[in-house]
Structure 1
Amino acid sequence: MTDAAHRLLWTIIALLLVAGGAAALAASYGVLPGGDPGATLLSARLLHQWRLATPWTTLAAAVAGALLALSGHHLLRAELRRPRSAVRGTLSHPGRRPGRTRVAADVLVHALERDLTGAPGVRRARVVLTGAPPRPDVWIRVDLAADTPTARVREHVRAAVRRFATTAGCQPAHLDVTARIEPGRP
């Protein structure tokens, strides 16, 4: 699922929750047409039918709650895991002479993260490699201190990516860098 699809999904969920809350609030104040603020939200007829089917209504409510909980768990798990197309295993590069050089992708990711955090003012760095190994997409997020000059960090990131490309023997097809600045002291 793309980032735009994720944003759309969470926007739809948020709008549904807001609409449900607004409808319940409007009903409680009697703003809805035909509504009475002193009346109960559920009619006596509906409560009577609920009580007539007592064991099955409780079971139906429990099953509906369990299904909602499972779908919420599935959605959160899908949101929190790494991208499916993340490069795992080894990057293989043919040498000038017969043979191949193999480097674990995790080793390259950790090395690039360590290189990025070596700049003054960079608190944390997170790197994800996706796509095909000869030309992977590189996703970088750096967390900066409030007083860090961004021009210096930009140059450091460029140099770190150049070193990464030289070390890995592959040029990034796409580079996405996100810088988050931590709030400073008052």
Structure 2
Amino acid sequence: MPGTLFIVAAPSGAGKSSIVNAVLARDPRLCLSISFTSRQPRPGERHAEHYHFIAVDEFKAMIRNGDFFEYAEVHGDWKGTARQSVLPQLAAGKDVVLEIDWQGARQVRAQVPDAIGIFILPPSRNALEQRMRSRGQDSEETIRRRLAAAREEMSHYDEFDYVVVNEVFDDAVDEVCAVVAGSRARRPVQRVRHEALIAELLRDG
């Protein structure tokens, strides 16, 4: 049985990565697809753990070769998901999480219509700005640019199946875990997973 694809998107600073990492720590049946990016690593980020950091020319070569499942230019940098990071895992029955933006989510939906979309919102615009600044990793110009882009990004929340407000972190993690658990209990999934049991329960005599 193929696995389920979960798309998690959010404006920069909403806490998406922290929530996804906490969910992954709780649920060993989930695996994360590590994205490729043309930007430079931030302090503390490691290649092949947080992102695959590659040069712009290499990224564009992968585009030309059709290597990406989805890709987009985000905040002036390229980000994308390699096909090999997703399709073999789904085919093997693993549930896969994609941390991508709304542009990438649209591309994924076109290829995997039954993917589950989760959008993370901040509790307020002030909280979003404070979280961006508290990281201490971006220049003032970068922060202003990301804040300007955040409203446009958040306007696409209605393209997703679920919306989680990250006001209390643990509550937000619980809600995302509940979405994952609920998706696994859907009738089409359970019908395949428990085919023998259902047949036994429903047989005559």
Fold shared, TM-score > 0.5 on shorter chain: no
TM-score, normalised via structure 2 length: 0.21
Higher relative CO (Cα under 8 Å, sequence separation at least 6) belongs to: 2
